[in-house]
Amino acid sequence: MLGWITMEYTQLGRTGLKVSRLVLGTMNFGPFTEEPDAHAIMDAALDAGINFFDTANAYGWGANKGRTEEIIGTWFARGGGRREKTVLATKVYADMAAPDAPWPNRGGLSALHIRQAAEASLRRLGTDHIDLYQFHHIDRSAPWEEIWQAIDVLVQQGKVLYAGSSNFPGWGIAQANEAAARRGSLGLVSEQCLYNLVERRAEMEVVPAARAYGLGVIPWSPLHGGVLGGVLRKERDGEGPGPGRGAPPRC
């Protein structure tokens, strides 16, 4: 197919990394999209020239957290250059302990959890590195010196290439990158935030902060659960609150 000829690419923030302007989100892989269908979607995306795939260690949700990364891992294992052609983004923060067996340090952004979560994601994804490792939420209990020390180790080991944020306030982006600058680290290169024609609060502080610090902006829920997001089917089937019926999904 010739999708790569018409697909638009851009550099991710201030990096030299080229990514497609369309990003394939995988949040529903596992809970709502079975593995064969998920594999077919990823194949179609790659054929169309989409080289940027986004996931998170928490996707799969509940007792199945991690399932989405596993599905992507089995897709990579099919070969054909799939991993080499994909810019892979995943996230860290969620408490990954079993719901019925809570345990300390299984969530957040402590150096311990970052290390453990990265290793677990690499195993599930069946890869030796994560291209973009994103902090899924801000952790006010973890100092940035600790967070960047953990990320710098992963970068030195070749297990992570870039770091990004998700659901951060503008001041959080500034605080993170000022701390990284003091260490001589690259810092955040992207912010993934809720942003669409209906929900535009990101324009107040997040987008200006991203522009000031050279971050790429990756919108989540860009359709706000509109027609293409299945809102008519949800209305017809009487499904509960969700995209188009109050609040977008928590990414």
Contact 95, 103 (CB under 8 A): no
Q: Could you give the CA distance from residue 136 to residue 9 in angstroms, rounded to a whole number?
A: 24
Alpha carbon 44 to chain centroid, angstroms: 20
Per-residue pLDDT tens over the stretch 109-153: 999 999 999 999 999 999 999 999 999 999 999 999 999 999 999
Per-residue pLDDT tens over the stretch 43-76: 999 999 999 999 999 999 999 999 999 999 999 9
Active site residue 59: yes
**Please, what is the end-to-end C-alpha distance for the chain in angstroms?**
31
- Structure token digits, residue 12: 């991710």
- In sequence order, the β-bridge partners of residue 216 are 190
The reported pTM is 0.91
- Given the structure tokens 């100092």, which residue do they identify? 143
CB-CB neighbours of 217 under 10 Å:
15
Contact 57, 120 (CB under 8 A): yes
* Choice among 59, 93, 133, 195 that is catalytic: 59
Neighbour-count burial for 18-37, b at 16+ CB within 10 Å, e otherwise: ebbebbbbbbebbeebeeee
Per-residue pLDDT tens over the stretch 9-32: 999 999 999 999 999 999 999 999
- Is residue 231 predicted with pLDDT exceeding 80? no
| Average pLDDT for 202-208 | 98
H/E segment holding residue 129: none
CA atoms within 13 A on the CB side of 183: 20
CB-CB neighbours of 79 under 10 Å:
9
